[in-house]
Structure 1
Amino acid sequence: MRKYIERNVKQRELVGFTCNKCGKSVDLTEDDFAGNLFHSFKTSFHYGSAFDMETWEFDLCEDCLLDFVKTFKVEPDGVGIERDRFVFYDLEGGLSE
């Protein structure tokens, strides 16, 4: 015979995203793919950095991520899709071309 005890365990459930740069937000539903248009980043700072021992986590929408990447002097590996050739989901109003 098995013995059990009941425990109250808090669970965190992701219900939405907010872009840390522009503040754009989406609430997630089961059928919604808008969460795929937000990207999470985590970076840890180490010895010698002014932010030694800190870890930063933030989310960016695709528009802000693209704006950020455009400021790079060296293009990141994997970038190369021509944005104007594809249909993108506009968080403000559905599909856009």
Structure 2
Amino acid sequence: MKNYKEEAITEKKLIHVSTTCNKCGKTKEPEQVDHYIWETFAYDFAIHFKEGSQYEEQKWMFDICEECAIEFVKTFKIVPQYFNGSTSSQSQKVFDEWKKTGQINNALYYNSMLSSIKKGL
């Protein structure tokens, strides 16, 4: 027969309470977006510098809020791959328009998607 005793165990655990954007300094607390999901709408980045770089073997990690991430992407000259789900040559037009207005031009977007689908056939 096994004999047991009851014992209280305490455990230390890290609990995510907020994220601070390394660029603008705003701190955001997680908000519930689904029954089980809490989100801060901040994105973590890591840069692993390659051999030959002046920062060789360094790894920089930082968090950027959604607003700063969007502003950063708006500085790009070339459309990011899979911007708004498309990889066609029309994507650059959609991207350039989005950078100016902050809105996806639906007509350009759908033409971009159709062009992408036609190339796949």
Question: What's the TM-score bracket when you normalise by the shorter of the two chains?
Answer: 0.5 to 0.7
Q: 1:76 and 2:105 equivalent?
A: no
Larger helix proportion of the pair: 2
Q: Which has the higher contact order (CA 8 A, sep 6+)?
A: 1
* Paired residues of 1:41 and 1:59 also in contact (CA < 8 A): yes
Aligned match for 1:38, one of 38, 42, 57: 42
Matched AA of 1:56: W
Aligned length: 82
For residues 23-72 of structure 1, give each alpha carbon's deviation from its aligned partner in whole angstroms, at most 9, with x where no partner exists: 1111235x36551x211111111210011111011111111111111111
TM-score by length of 2: 0.53
Q: 1:58 and 2:62 equivalent?
A: yes
- Any unmatched runs of 5+ in structure 2? 3-7, 85-93, 105-121
Identity in percent: 33
Matched AA of 1:49: S
Root mean square deviation of aligned Cα:
2.9
Q: Quote how far apart the aligned CAs of 1:11 are.
A: 2.8
| CA–CA distance in structure 1, aligned partners of residues 22 and 13 of structure 2 | 24
Matched AA of 1:41: F
Larger Rg: 2
Q: Quote how far apart the aligned CAs of 1:9 are.
A: 5.8
Partner of 2:20: 18
Q: Quote how far apart the aligned CAs of 1:10 are.
A: 4.2
- Any unmatched runs of 5+ in structure 1? 86-97
| CA–CA distance in structure 1, aligned partners of residues 51 and 11 of structure 2 | 36
